[in-house]
Amino acid sequence: MIERYTLPEMGGIWTDEARMHAWLQVEIAAVKAWAQLGKVPPEAVAEIEARADFDVARVNEIEQTTNHDVIAFLTNVAEHVGESSKYIHYGMTSSDMLDTGLALQIKAAGELLQRDLSALGVVLKRRALEYRDAVQVGRTHGVHAEPITFGMKLGIWAFEARRDLDRLRHATDEAAVGKISGAVGAYNHIDPRVEELVCGELGIGFEPISSQVVQRDRIAWFLNAVAVTGASIEKMAIEVRHLQRTEVREAEEAFGKGQKGSSAMPHKRNPILSERMAGCARVLRANAMVGLENIALWHERDISHSSAERIVLPDSCILLDYMLQKWTKLVDGLIVDTERMRANLDLSHRLVFSEAMLLALIDTGMLREDAYRVVQESAMTAWQEGRDFGELIAANPGVQAVMSADEVAAVLDPGRHAAGRDVIFGRLEALSFDD
């Protein structure tokens, strides 16, 4: 991932240094497991733990000759360890180290992304409760529909963030899985107990039956969980972009002192971060497709997956980490104009209460078809002539025959929806991101 979108903590998980450190953890854990089974003498374990190390530049230098990264790494470790290095990588194949080490990186990255998501969820919940009573017109097809509150919109996002968190936790657990089962995964030259001991010490799961590699449906699921989370951010970002349009102007990104929106037009305040989120989400979806393509390998394995994973796994984790942290900051500082929301609600001449009037007429005993016709007559007049729907419906002879003026006014009162909001925000109050 380019430096522009790489934050230090997540970027540090995917460096060459971190990758090889994970490999070394796996190899030392395997030596210790063999020692528990009586294969490696205690003094060799002590020597390996004390002396085992690597140098990334030296590993890269050796790889220029071996053209094999695992052999280059093990050669360099042996240079540090000496005689006892004969016990390192005993009975293992390259993917035992590679996939189990990768599981450690996925676990670390997944936990960081979960922390990011929890932080976003907390902010979304807080701001949703802040605007629980900020009445806003709801829109379907981009057209005024029924009144909602801005808190409802943010609350929807908060619950989606919780689902993203649950998906990502499950996907991380599914992908943070190792294998120490040797070539083709048959335990031909390694005791299955070694695998259980190694993965137990490292705090990851193990593949119950592996081929030469951990099965790639696990990685695909993780990348798709990452992509879905990115799509959730994009969904929120598109809404902010709509709300910031000049014709709407109900909410907008904060605009910092000294910030400039256009090289040509000094008045511009553009939703640049929201647009950036939409673009980044496309990258995550493309990377998720690579994960799906990597599931199918030849026989017990080939290595067509590994070259692609070197790109898409770090890039996806780094990019989503960036997106989550940036989006959390945006939501926290989002500028909300409740007066503009009310003004926009009034633009449609109270037509948003047409369903309320329809149901009120039905409640008087009027047939639904007749009630629909009566309401639509007044609604179309209001739409075409720019007149107030409330006045027109109150003057409609069909309505006057069954309802009083006070009853009509009560139907047209925006506050009548408060009971539903109490239920909605009661559910939101119970939403937690602490676990």
Model confidence over 359-389: pLDDT tens digits?
999 999 999 999 999 999 999 999 899 999 9
Using alpha carbons, list the distances in angstroms from residue 149 to 146, 228, 383, 415, 424.
Answer: 10, 26, 23, 11, 11
CATH number of the domain that residue 225 is part of: 1.20.200.10
- Is 269 found in the same domain as 157? yes
- Is 253 found in the same domain as 124? yes
- Is 268 found in the same domain as 354? no
pLDDT for position 269: 80
Question: The tokens of 242 are what?
Answer: 């709509």
> Pick the catalytic residue: 84, 95, 118, 141?
141
Residue 45 lies in a domain: no
**Confidence at 415, pLDDT banded by 50, 70, 90:** low
Q: Is the pTM of this model over 0.75?
A: yes
> Pick the catalytic residue: 68, 189, 262, 304?
262
Model confidence over 227-236: pLDDT tens digits?
999 999 999 9
**Nearest by Cα to 104 from 192, 206, 185:** 206
The total number of structural domains in the chain stands at 2
Residue 80 annotated to the active site: no
Residue 73 lies in a domain: no
CATH number of the domain that residue 381 is part of: 1.10.40.30
Model confidence over 18-33: pLDDT tens digits?
999 999 999 999 999 9
- Is 368 found in the same domain as 243? no
Domain span holding position 287: 92-340
CA trace torsion 220, 96, 199, 45 (10° rounding):
-160
Pairing of strands 251-252, 335-336: antiparallel
Q: Pick from 277, 309, 340: which residue ends a domain?
A: 340
What is the pLDDT averaged over residues 186-209?
97
pLDDT for position 307: 94
- Is 227 found in the same domain as 116? yes
Residue 48 lies in a domain: no
Beta bridge partners of residue 299, listed in sequence order? none
At 221, phi and psi to the nearest 5?
A: -65, -40
Classified as helix, coil or strand, 41 is coil
Model confidence over 117-146: pLDDT tens digits?
999 999 999 999 999 999 999 999 999 988
User: Counting every residue, how long is the chain?
Assistant: 435
pLDDT surpassing 70 at residue 298? yes
Q: Pick from 306, 340, 374: which residue ends a domain?
A: 340
pLDDT for position 412: 86
Distance CA 78, CA 298 (A): 32
Residue 94 annotated to the active site: no
What is the pLDDT averaged over residues 403-407?
90
pLDDT for position 422: 86
What is the pLDDT averaged over residues 44-64?
97
The H-assigned helical ranges of 131-202 are 150-175, 192-202
- Is 305 found in the same domain as 190? yes
Question: The tokens of 63 are what?
Answer: 């790889």
pLDDT surpassing 80 at residue 260? no
Q: Pick from 340, 366, 381: which residue ends a domain?
A: 340
pLDDT surpassing 70 at residue 94? yes
Classified as helix, coil or strand, 138 is strand
The DSSP-derived string for 76-115 is HHHHHH-GGGGGTTTT--HHHHHHHHHHHHHHHHHHHHHH
pLDDT for position 420: 80
pLDDT for position 416: 66
Pairing of strands 251-252, 205-206: unpaired
Percent of the chain with pLDDT over 90: 86
Q: What is the residue whose two structure tokens read 């990334």?
A: 56
Residue 68 lies in a domain: no
pLDDT surpassing 70 at residue 427? yes
Distance CA 333, CA 329 (A): 6
pLDDT surpassing 70 at residue 96? yes
